[in-house]
Amino acid sequence: MQNIEVLQERIKNISTLEELEELRVHLLGRQGEITILLKNLNVLPVEERRKRGNELNNFKNEIEDFLNNRKTEIEEGVLNSKLKNEAIDIFLPPFSLPMGRLHILSIVYKKVEEVLGSLGYEVVEGPEIESDYYNFEALNMPVHHPARDMWDTFYFENGLLLRTHTSPVQIRTMQSRQPPIKIIAPGKCYRRDNPDASHSPGFHQLEGLYIDEGVSLSHLKGTLEFFARAMFGPYQEVKLITSYYPFVEPGLEVSLKCVICKGKGCITCKYSGWLEILGAGMVHPDVLSRQEIYPDKYSGFAFGIGIDRVAMLMYGIKDIRSFLENDLRFLNQFKAILEET
Ligand code: FA5
């Protein structure tokens, strides 16, 4: 049996819990050296047995304490090195995971909805696949009405169609609500238009409708001017001219000075210096009375904003087709704007 100092030195030099356990079993296990020495005490005479027994028990206790202390040291060492190696630096920048974000047109929609929402307009929606009744007939365009040519339409075989504008939502709202009505309706529209810098066969509109007692053209003008200033700032030049839509009387067209060429004329504005962003007007009395809203009592205005055109003017985008090409180099340009919002 080694003496206590040698054993203590041996225990100190052990660096793993497995080795330590091995030594414990070797000394203190059922067949361990110290256990056997203790078992053999009974062959000694009583006096010597007591003396030797005390010595051996002290020896055993000391070794046990030593083994336990070393065990604690090793466990702490293992824990500390684990903590060190697995430490989390909370100041490290996070991995940049590829994240989806809103499309620039969605951001523009959001802004327009905020601006008009501040005037009390409520957002409603309507279907993209429409019937002839909602897209044309209820809007004062019976079959064979020449004004239907203003909207070159995609038809399904069953007679349904892809809505050419968001104006059908006007009719759906008149059918489901009573005046006062104050709604906006965002949504996709489709036309068989030849694609060019400012036309796309699939584009985005936002319809507005306000019906109440005493609504007048000056309310419409005020609303459109408020909208243009809120979106483009007080210095943006706005042009309102009369126009024809069968479902309004009078009808208006609103154009903004082209921001791409500053009004000099370019391919985006078709060399006119202006880009038309919306159509509007006072709701035609026949449209109201067909939906049992009596024009003697109520009047209203409506507008249909081209959201793609608004986005083009806000961010100087020369070609409307960029919105639908899904080119990340184009879309990522708006990252900063998206983070702002
Ligand atoms: C209409 O669609 C009417 N429904 C607007 C309206 C509503 C008038 C309520 C009166 C009352 P228009 O066809 O002009 O009108 O289209 C409205 C706006 O949609 C245009 O000013 C333009 O900004 C946008 N727009 C029209 N066609 C396209 C297209 N092919 N590509 C991109 N934007 C388009």
Which range is least confidently modeled, 102-116, 140-154, 273-287?
140-154
pLDDT at 338 over 70: no
Which candidate in 70, 148, 172, 191 is catalytic? Answer: 191
pLDDT at 325 over 80: yes
Please report the pLDDT score of residue 84 as a whole number.
Answer: 87
Q: Choose from 32-46, 92-106, 160-174 the range with maximum mean pLDDT.
A: 160-174
**Burial category of 275 from C-beta neighbours within 10 Å (exposed 0-12, middle 13-18, buried 19 and up):** buried
Q: What is the best residue among 184, 308, 312 to mutate for testing ligand 1's pocket, by most ligand atoms within 8 Å of CB?
A: 308
For this structure, is 191 an active site residue? yes
Instruction: Say what the pTM is.
Output: 0.74
Which candidate in 138, 197, 248, 310 is catalytic? Answer: 248
- Give strand pairing partners of 185: 207
**How much is the mean pLDDT over the chain?**
92
**Mean pLDDT along residues 276-282:** 96
Please report the pLDDT score of residue 134 as a whole number.
Answer: 98
Please report the pLDDT score of residue 1 as a whole number.
Answer: 65
pLDDT tens digit string along 11-22?
999 999 999 999
Distances (CA, A) of 98 to 72, 94, 95, 101, 134: 46, 12, 9, 10, 42
Please report the pLDDT score of residue 209 as a whole number.
Answer: 98
pLDDT at 340 over 70: no
Residue 333 DSSP class: G
Question: Which of 124, 271, 241 is CA-nearest to residue 185?
Answer: 124
Q: What is the best residue among 121, 151, 163, 203 to mutate for testing ligand 1's pocket, by most ligand atoms within 8 Å of CB?
A: 203
**Mean pLDDT along residues 209-232:** 95
208 CB within 6 A, ligand 1:
no
pLDDT at 99 over 80: no
Q: What is the 307 CA–ligand 1 centroid distance (Å)?
A: 9
Which range is least confidently modeled, 114-123, 171-180, 270-279?
270-279
pLDDT at 331 over 80: yes
Alpha-helix residue ranges (DSSP H) falling in the chain: 4-13, 17-28, 33-39, 46-85, 104-117, 132-135, 168-176, 217-232, 285-290, 307-315, 328-331, 335-340
Cβ count near 67 (within 10 Å): 18
pLDDT tens digit string along 176-216?
999 999 999 999 999 999 999 999 999 999 999 999 999 99
Please report the pLDDT score of residue 210 as a whole number.
Answer: 98
Please report the pLDDT score of residue 339 as a whole number.
Answer: 61
269 CB within 6 A, ligand 1:
no
Q: How confident is the model at residue 341 (pLDDT cuts 50, 70, 90)?
A: low
Q: How confident is the model at residue 93 (pLDDT cuts 50, 70, 90)?
A: confident
165 CB within 6 A, ligand 1:
yes
Cβ count near 88 (within 10 Å): 6
